[in-house]
Structure 1
């Protein structure tokens, strides 16, 4: 009984996550950052602990 309950709750949770994902806005490739930014020319943003101040 416990195994069936756990499996059922897991499947319901997966279907809920898939439903929420499908109901949301589709990804916009023009606003997304590059998947791999090696040599993309995009400047780094955020802080870096080893960076010296200007």
Structure 2
């Protein structure tokens, strides 16, 4: 029982540390620079995903 409690405690500390690091170093997203969620027929190509790397 002691090992399980230690493992859960260390995991929780690690996760909270990662969240705190991310909040401290990341800037908030700019909604005006975000790509449209649905852009059917707009002519805009997708970017940033594996489907954007298709050969032309």
**Fold shared per TM-score above 0.5:** yes
Deviations 1:26-50 (A, max 9, x none): 111122222x22427251143325x
**Equivalence for 2:28:** 26
Alignment size in residue pairs: 49
Which of residues 42, 50, 54 in structure 2 aligns to 1:48? Answer: 54
The normalised TM-score by structure 2 is 0.58
Indicate the residue corresponding to 1:14 in structure 2.
15
Q: In structure 1, list runs of 5 or more residues that go unmatched.
A: none
Q: What is the TM-score normalised by the length of structure 1? A: 0.59
Unaligned runs of 5+ in 2: 47-51
Aligned CA-pair RMSD:
2.4
